[in-house]
Structure 1
């Protein structure tokens, strides 16, 4: 006898799963936990197969019968509904792994992290991805149109973040090119956006260009009265021409005072190549003085709070600001 809504609601769980037939291969299976799953039984040749339709009450009896009818039509035409459903699931899972966000995260991991790019570079890449995720993150990468990428970039521009918009477009372009190389998409839609964004105006940082002014800065550094380790960092900085982060992370084992060379390993360099910094006689003298006071283990410029950490970026920047004020005075 065909099922009714009343009978369906009255079905109670038992110690083992059991089935209750509806009509023409459609039945409902009741699990020990109380779940009720619609299934359709059919044959392909001599082989009996089953198609899962969905759970009750999410799928009501009318919709279950309609699904069973459509499955019977497919079987009559020589199809296999269960196999088609399995293929569709595999296809959906495949497509979900081909979204812009999935390919972008793979690009960051495979082409940036695994290639040893700097932590700061990885952080920036994830930041650029965050700017795009809401708009195109869940879209299949091969279906994305230029206007879809342009929309989040224009929102950045509306906030005055022209440089961020430009760099985000550049990051998206690298992801699409990676997608092309790995056969996930056929082209880079951002290539058409180069003329659609505002060109950021170059901002030049203040710089000392006159020898007289440089002399004044060096005298201001000599007169610095803050922490002695910070003072030595300030004294050495103008001689070595490295980034503040590289200076702060200098380690005694990298420095050869006899040869007068500081060998920075590739892991600390932005370009990920080892770098040799020649040390002037003045710098060697400063380092020898510092070594007598703090020893030659660990960081050359350790944090005042914990010697196992380098001096903070804020400490060095604040010290440079103090010397600049002294120079202006």
Structure 2
């Protein structure tokens, strides 16, 4: 008969003292508490990877920051993933990577990388004007927004007051720059498609300036 593991109790966990070597207290279904020689108590789950069937461990944090109830909840979540043939460790790594991507790849951060490439092909005066327009109109509104969360409607809403003020040339330049930055994000592998590619069509185009005709 398989050995029946008696669930842990908060009192038992609190009373566990460090020994010369680390040891474990088992709560069942793979969940265990590791007691380190320095006195720290760490939760971990033993499981089999769904595809390779190899044994693996995933850590859940330390006690008492993570309580027994919280550790059991984490175990339940991991078991649910395993039932779907999802490795809980891979799932957690992917979530952490996605969170890091959100914090690092903001619109302003991506715009800076785009600008580093762009300014090599324009005059210093044009580059200065370009960056100033981003700082004035776009960064205050969406500079800290992850680039993958920027949609056409949001960009249009920022530019609409500028169009209403009759600054149509500024509107033209801003829509062009937003489009280029978002295309840069696509080409950098940060987003799958540019949702702002057609925003210029929402606004009236500035009238073309014709050169005066010279009389002979």
TM-score range, shorter chain: 0.5 to 0.7
Offset, 1:76: 4.9
- CA change 1:149–1:59 in 2 (3 A) is farther
Aligned position for 2:213: none
Query: What do the CA deviations read for 1:67-101 (whole angstroms, capped 9, x no partner)?
Result: 21232344355442223323343444456555433
Aligned position for 1:38: 43
- CA change 1:82–1:129 in 2 (3 A) is same
- CA change 1:73–1:96 in 2 (3 A) is same
- CA change 1:147–1:10 in 2 (3 A) is farther
Q: Please report the TM-score for the alignment, with normalisation by the length of structure 1.
A: 0.45
Aligned position for 2:57: 50
1:138 aligned to 135, 145, 156, which one? 145
Q: Give runs of aligned pairs for residues 226-245 of structure 1, distance below 5 A.
A: none
Q: Is the 8 A contact 2:179 2:194 kept in 1?
A: no
Aligned position for 1:317: none
Q: Is the 8 A contact 2:60 2:71 kept in 1?
A: yes
Aligned position for 1:148: 154
Offset, 1:189: 1.5
The structure having more radius of gyration, on CA atoms, is 1
Aligned position for 1:260: none
How far apart, in 2, do the equivalents of 1:34 and 1:199 lie? 71
Q: Secondary structure at the match of 2:118?
A: helix
Q: Is the 8 A contact 2:106 2:144 kept in 1?
A: yes
1:174 has 2:183 as partner: no
How far apart, in 2, do the equivalents of 1:22 and 1:110 lie? 56
How far apart, in 2, do the equivalents of 1:33 and 1:175 lie? 51
1:4 has 2:9 as partner: yes
Aligned length: 198
Q: Please report the TM-score for the alignment, with normalisation by the length of structure 2.
A: 0.63
Q: Give runs of aligned pairs for residues 202-281 of structure 1, distance below 5 A.
A: none
Offset, 1:147: 1.4
Aligned position for 1:28: 33
Q: Secondary structure at the match of 2:46?
A: strand
1:82 has 2:89 as partner: yes
Q: Is the 8 A contact 2:168 2:204 kept in 1?
A: no
Aligned position for 1:189: 196
Offset, 1:106: 1.5
Aligned position for 1:110: 117
Offset, 1:51: 1.4
Q: Is the 8 A contact 1:103 1:175 kept in 2?
A: yes
Q: Is the 8 A contact 1:29 1:36 kept in 2?
A: yes
Offset, 1:118: 1.9
What residue ranges of structure 2 are gaps of 5+ in the alignment?
1-5, 210-216
Q: Secondary structure at the match of 1:66?
A: helix
| Bigger Cα displacement from structure 2, 13-22 vs 166-175 | 13-22
How far apart, in 2, do the equivalents of 1:151 and 1:15 lie? 64
